[in-house]
Structure 1
Amino acid sequence: MTHRFSGHDPGEGKDTGGVPWEGRTLTGTGFDGDTGEADARLAHLLAEADPDPVALVEAVSGARLIVPVVAVPGEIDDSSGIPADATSDMASVTLVAPDGQRALPAFTSTAALSTWDAGARPVPVTAQRAALAAVQEGCDVIPLDLAAPPGPAAYTLRPSMVWALAMGRAWAPAHSDEHVAAAVSAAVSDESDVAAHRLEPGPEHALQVCLNLRPGLTADQVRALVTRVGERIATDGEARARIDALAFRLQAG
């Protein structure tokens, strides 16, 4: 069996690549004085039964988060006839729900992380870095402070929240987001059968687009109109990233 760093002696003054330690400057992580405790404001909001989402995302944006890193099998030693891990690597954790939704878990404190997995290594990061990692890993959501499996999260940051954190901007619900409002207005502007429209909060955090339609439209005409409007909204990538789900409510008028 060959070890990855066999023959390396740190006492010789060089790293595994042969580069001398002498003359190097070690810089801090930005969390040198971190005690591992949760941000007080964020912890207070997470303790509420139904925290205000705007206030919560704002608190998250200014807090230090902890992402877990765990050991994964590397080289395999089968010299004894029984395969066993000879080495291991460290990797960030991503979770996949039964419906295929991917998640990057994050924690507000080392205590919360230990409750979930005592063997995970805590890596402190800014909320923006955690969100950027989620986007890069194709994760839709960030569950905060997951309980021990199969426990729930204290709060799950939705896709629009993750995107806002990654972009370093304030988050707003889609129905009160100015960019979304402009995108919807553009999507209905060429529809002569839409007399008026407005945005409302919908079920399951969806944006509900209320359309007042000209009387007398057939069911097929209505379906085609709604499809066109939905597709136009979807072509605006920034608007799509700010909308967790889209629903329509139709009425004559």
Structure 2
Amino acid sequence: MAQTPKKTLPGHIAAALAGSGGATDSAGQPWAGRALPDGQKYHSFEADDGAADARYIGAVAQLVAGQGSEREVVAALAQARVFIPIIATLAEETVSANGLVSDKESDMALVTIQAPDGRRALPAFTNVSALADWHPQARPVAVYAARAALSAVAEEAQMLVLDPGSDQPFVVRRPAMWALAQQQDWLPSYLDTAVAAVLDASVAALGNSAVVSIFATPGPGIQAHWGEKNEPSRPPVCGGGAGPELEVKITLEPGLDQMALEAILATLQDIWARNEHFARVVDSVQIRLQQQASTS
């Protein structure tokens, strides 16, 4: 009977097999001593099944139904577990005696993304499946949402984006993100009476009767458009959007020329920017101008 020729393994596989089973890994680091002590947990979420936090899901369902608010969704995040994506980046590689190229050193890096307005954002995911769909090579690291917000602040990100790329992304803007990081309650700027007081005071400081009235309302930027691809007629959700969250409506006397109008707006915005509370709790502003209706 003829003898079957022996097959030769590809070089990189042969090198990997030759280097396996030894006392060290492919980078020459000993395996000994790597086992965790008895009873020690890998992390605080060892029994976690990777599903989304029930409180967060409930708050989002209320928001979609028009019975909740984005404030309640952020409040639900205060005790929620999320996953942040970590990517391994090669810092140094080495070649073993068998010719196998392997990682000698690698760094684990947080992933940040760019929001539509150009600002930096940290992605976080409510469940493992959403993260895997977004970036299959990313490693999910379970943390409390407050810790994720702290990481976003450390990365100089201006917002935290939950489940980007999914049918229901939710944006936690800078003031809410900072409140979450400090484990404080968050009050949207459009509901903050102190913000309304700053607006009134700015008109008084202006000393110009051309401004008839000023008041704040929720901006169109808070609206999140979920499920557009599959449900084009679905109305927007009133919370979780990335745009301006505060709309300032200013009623003016008729007859102002462009130069006078620009001077008024520049003065008002300067007063708002110099107010510590306003600058801290307002992420972005949209101004809407309207003329006082004629009485004749």
Deviations 1:83-121 (A, max 9, x none): 975432111111234753211111112232223233322
Rate the CA distance shift 1:75–1:212 in 2: closer, same or farther, 3 A: same
Distance in 2 (CA, whole Å) between partners of 1:184 and 1:78 is: 65
Number of the residue aligned with 1:52? 69
Task: Note if contact 1:63-1:127 (Cα within 8 Å) is conserved in structure 2.
Answer: yes
Number of the residue aligned with 1:168? 183
Distance in 2 (CA, whole Å) between partners of 1:235 and 1:153 is: 36
Number of the residue aligned with 2:143? 125
Task: Note if contact 1:174-1:180 (Cα within 8 Å) is conserved in structure 2.
Answer: yes
Distance in 1 (CA, whole Å) between partners of 2:252 and 2:207 is: 9
| Runs of 5+ unmatched residues, structure 1 | 14-20
In percent, how many aligned pairs have the same letter? 35
Give the superposition deviation at 1:197: 1.9
* Comparing 168-177 and 41-50, the one that deviates more: 41-50
Number of the residue aligned with 1:95? 113
Deviations 1:32-68 (A, max 9, x none): 4433221113124446657731221121222111111
**Matched residue count:** 239
Number of the residue aligned with 1:36? 50
Matching of residues 1-253 of structure 1 within 5 Å: 6=28, 10-11=32-33, 30-46=44-60, 49=64, 52-77=69-94, 85-97=103-115, 99-147=117-165, 154-193=169-208, 194-205=211-222, 206=244, 207-214=246-253, 216-253=255-292
- Higher gyration radius (CA): 2
Q: Give TM-score scaled by structure 1 length.
A: 0.76
> What is the DSSP-based 3-state SS (H/G/I as helix, E as strand, rest coil) of the residue aligned with 1:197?
strand
Distance in 2 (CA, whole Å) between partners of 1:187 and 1:235 is: 11
Distance in 1 (CA, whole Å) between partners of 2:266 and 2:40 is: 56
* Comparing 191-200 and 55-64, the one that deviates more: 191-200
Give the superposition deviation at 1:176: 1.2
AA in 1 matched with 2:89: V
Distance in 2 (CA, whole Å) between partners of 1:112 and 1:179 is: 38
Distance in 1 (CA, whole Å) between partners of 2:198 and 2:40 is: 47
Give the superposition deviation at 1:190: 0.8
Question: Which aligned segments of 4 or more residues in structure 1 are displaced greater than 6 angstroms?
Answer: 25-28
Distance in 1 (CA, whole Å) between partners of 2:49 and 2:102 is: 37
Task: Note if contact 2:125-2:163 (Cα within 8 Å) is conserved in structure 1.
Answer: yes
Distance in 1 (CA, whole Å) between partners of 2:196 and 2:182 is: 19
Task: Note if contact 2:88-2:109 (Cα within 8 Å) is conserved in structure 1.
Answer: yes
Distance in 1 (CA, whole Å) between partners of 2:95 and 2:199 is: 60
> What is the DSSP-based 3-state SS (H/G/I as helix, E as strand, rest coil) of the residue aligned with 1:188?
helix
Distance in 2 (CA, whole Å) between partners of 1:28 and 1:119 is: 21
Distance in 2 (CA, whole Å) between partners of 1:159 and 1:176 is: 16
Q: Give TM-score scaled by structure 2 length.
A: 0.66
RMSD of the alignment, in Å? 3.6
Distance in 2 (CA, whole Å) between partners of 1:245 and 1:251 is: 20
* Comparing 202-211 and 124-133, the one that deviates more: 202-211
Deviations 1:173-211 (A, max 9, x none): 322113322332333231122343211223324322223
